[in-house]
């Protein structure tokens, strides 16, 4: 068992990849505040994938300036030798792997970069962990996109503002037994599924304490949302900047569940305290924190007083889910201490406030 306590009694050394991104930076801050030694790995590849609006260097600078127990490493997870050297030197007592290429659409444009980042990068980290710290937990941020578009084959019913599952078996959402193959994934979904299986296999074959977190929409005020990734964050940014938000198919009634990154970090802490071998968890906000695009428009407008500008195309994104929210039954059964603490309303309030500050700062810089 890893000696982690909320009081920070033990100075645990944690390696976090993607440490400038939303999940990585929130998890880093969570453990830094508890007194642990955190080493972040991030080379700002998000800005390469999505351009300057997706730049995450501001989060790295914020962590470095606030916390003396944070060390940044400008390392690319695709660089096998560099990862082996870093993990060999640090011998971390936990690894949280949050680095990824996260977009369906971008993956089709850069298939080698996508697979090398998502699948090969994960393999590099797993092998480094096996060689240098095999007895310590390895947490992998997977995705609900490992299920491909198979959720779209479920019977759905159309409601005024959303699609909803029609089959009573899925009234609480999608669980971990849902099939993952013989469906359309997008290249992103395929590369993440490859990584997911690798994490399970290193756990089961080598008896390492690994887990895959098949996440819904993880979000929060630190998200650098762009059109290709970061649904709620990008929507709020469009609203406040009076930019047109494009809806891709399904009448804008497609549904996602949303989890604040801090609630995710709390679950990761619980897993580090009581790790399991080769485990898989679906994690998200659940049905209570789900919304459609149309419902998100209404919620954001109520907070900002600004009418959401949008246009619509019938062409949906390939492999996109019509309706997906997470069945949290297994997570709650294994870790009954865990709960969703931040409602969808609270999440949106925080995102609105964060984007107001950032957009105001940008306006000041232009003066």
Q: What are phi and psi of 40, to 5 degrees?
A: -100, 140
Average pLDDT, integer, range 37-49: 90
Selection from 119, 82, 81, 79 nearest residue 101 by Cα: 119
Selection from 90, 113, 67 nearest residue 17 by Cα: 90
Q: What pLDDT is stored for residue 110 in this prediction?
A: 96
The residues, any chain, with a CB within 8 Å of residue 111's CB and separated by 6 or more, are: 187
Q: What pLDDT is stored for residue 223 in this prediction?
A: 76
Average pLDDT, integer, range 153-162: 98
pLDDT digits (tens, 9 = 90+) for 282-293: 999 999 999 999
Cα distance between residue 64 and residue 255, in whole Å: 37
Helix axes 293-304, 231-241, angle to 10 degrees: 40
Cα distance between residue 9 and residue 5, in whole Å: 6
Any idea where the domains of the chain sit in the sequence?
13-361
Q: What pLDDT is stored for residue 4 in this prediction?
A: 43
DSSP, collapsed to helix, strand or coil, labels residue 241 as: helix
DSSP, collapsed to helix, strand or coil, labels residue 364 as: helix
Average pLDDT, integer, range 353-357: 94
Average pLDDT, the chain: 93
Q: What pLDDT is stored for residue 10 in this prediction?
A: 56
Q: What pLDDT is stored for residue 9 in this prediction?
A: 46
Contact 212/196 with Cβ under 8 angstroms? yes
Contact 239/301 with Cβ under 8 angstroms? yes
Q: What pLDDT is stored for residue 228 in this prediction?
A: 66
For the residues of 11-67, what is the DSSP string, one character each?
A: --EEEEESTTSHHHHHHHHHHHTTT-EEEEE---HHHHHH-GGG--HHHHHHHHHH-
Q: Where is pLDDT greater, at 5 or 328?
A: 328
For the residues of 68-97, what is the DSSP string, one character each?
A: TTEEEE---TT-HHHHHHHHHHH--SEEEE
Cα distance between residue 56 and residue 100, in whole Å: 13
Q: Which residue in this structure is represented by tokens 């609480």?
A: 172
Confidence of residue 320 (pLDDT cuts 50, 70, 90): confident
pLDDT digits (tens, 9 = 90+) for 69-127: 999 999 999 999 999 999 999 999 999 999 999 888 899 999 999 999 999 999 999 99
Indicate the range of 59-63, 120-124, 286-290, 294-298 predicted with least confidence.
Answer: 59-63
CA dihedral 302, 303, 304, 310 (to 10 degrees): -60
pLDDT digits (tens, 9 = 90+) for 201-251: 999 999 999 999 999 899 998 877 777 677 899 999 999 999 999 999 999
55: left (phi over 0), alpha (psi -120 to 50) or beta: beta
Selection from 302, 311, 287 nearest residue 348 by Cα: 302
Selection from 5, 286, 266 nearest residue 139 by Cα: 266
Q: What pLDDT is stored for residue 1 in this prediction?
A: 46
Q: What pLDDT is stored for residue 6 in this prediction?
A: 43
Cα distance between residue 266 and residue 218, in whole Å: 13
Q: List the structure tokens of 54.
A: 């997706």
Question: Which of 5-9, 92-96, 316-320, 360-364 has the largest mean confidence?
Answer: 92-96
> CB neighbours (10 Å) of residue 126?
25
What secondary structure letter does DSSP report for 181? S
| pTM score | 0.93
Q: Where is pLDDT greater, at 367 or 156?
A: 156
Cα distance between residue 224 and residue 26, in whole Å: 13
Q: What pLDDT is stored for residue 284 in this prediction?
A: 98
171-to-80, 164, 262 alpha-carbon distances in Å: 43, 9, 26
Q: What pLDDT is stored for residue 367 in this prediction?
A: 74
CATH topology of domain 13-361: Rossmann fold (3.40.50)
Q: Does 173 have pLDDT greater than 50? A: yes
């Amino acid at each position: 068992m890893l000696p982690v306590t909320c009081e920070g009694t033990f100075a645990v050394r944690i390696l976090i990849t993607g440490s400038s991104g939303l999940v990585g930076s929130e998890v880093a801050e969570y453990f830094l505040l508890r007194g642990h030694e955190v080493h972040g790995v991030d080379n700002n590849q998000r800005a390469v994938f999505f351009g300057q609006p997706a730049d995450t260097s501001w989060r790295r600078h914020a962590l470095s300036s606030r916390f003396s127990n944070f060390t940044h490493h400008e390392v690319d997870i695709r660089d096998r030798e560099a990862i082996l050297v870093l993990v060999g030197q640090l011998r971390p007592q936990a690894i949280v792997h949050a680095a990824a290429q996260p977009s369906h659409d971008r993956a089709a444009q850069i298939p080698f970069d996508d697979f090398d980042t998502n699948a090969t990068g994960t393999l590099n980290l797993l092998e480094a962990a096996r060689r240098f710290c095999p007895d310590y937990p390895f947490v992998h941020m997977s995705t609900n996109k490992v299920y491909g578009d198979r959720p779209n084959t479920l019977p759905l019913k159309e409601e005024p503002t959303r699609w909803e599952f029609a089959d009573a078996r899925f009234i609480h959402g999608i669980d971990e037994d849902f099939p993952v193959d013989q469906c359309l994934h997008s290249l992103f979904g395929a590369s993440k599924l490859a990584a997911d299986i690798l994490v399970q296999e290193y756990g089961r074959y080598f008896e390492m304490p690994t887990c895959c977190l098949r996440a819904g929409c993880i979000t929060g005020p630190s998200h650098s949302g762009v059109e290709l990734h970061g649904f709620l964050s990008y929507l709020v940014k469009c609203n406040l900047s009076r930019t047109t938000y494009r809806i891709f198919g399904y009448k804008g009634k497609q549904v996602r569940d949303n989890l604040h990154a801090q609630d995710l970090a709390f679950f990761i802490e619980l897993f580090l305290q009581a790790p399991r071998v080769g485990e898989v968890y679906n994690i998200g906000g659940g049905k209570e924190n789900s919304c459609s695009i149309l419902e998100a428009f209404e919620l954001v407008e109520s907070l900002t007083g600004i009418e959401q500008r949008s246009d619509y195309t019938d062409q949906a994104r390939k492999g996109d889910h019509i309706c997906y929210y997470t069945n949290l039954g297994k997570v709650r059964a294994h870790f009954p201490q865990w709960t969703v603490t931040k409602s969808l309303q609270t999440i949106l309030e925080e995102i609105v406030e964060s984007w107001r500050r950032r957009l105001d700062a940008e306006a000041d810089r232009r003066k």
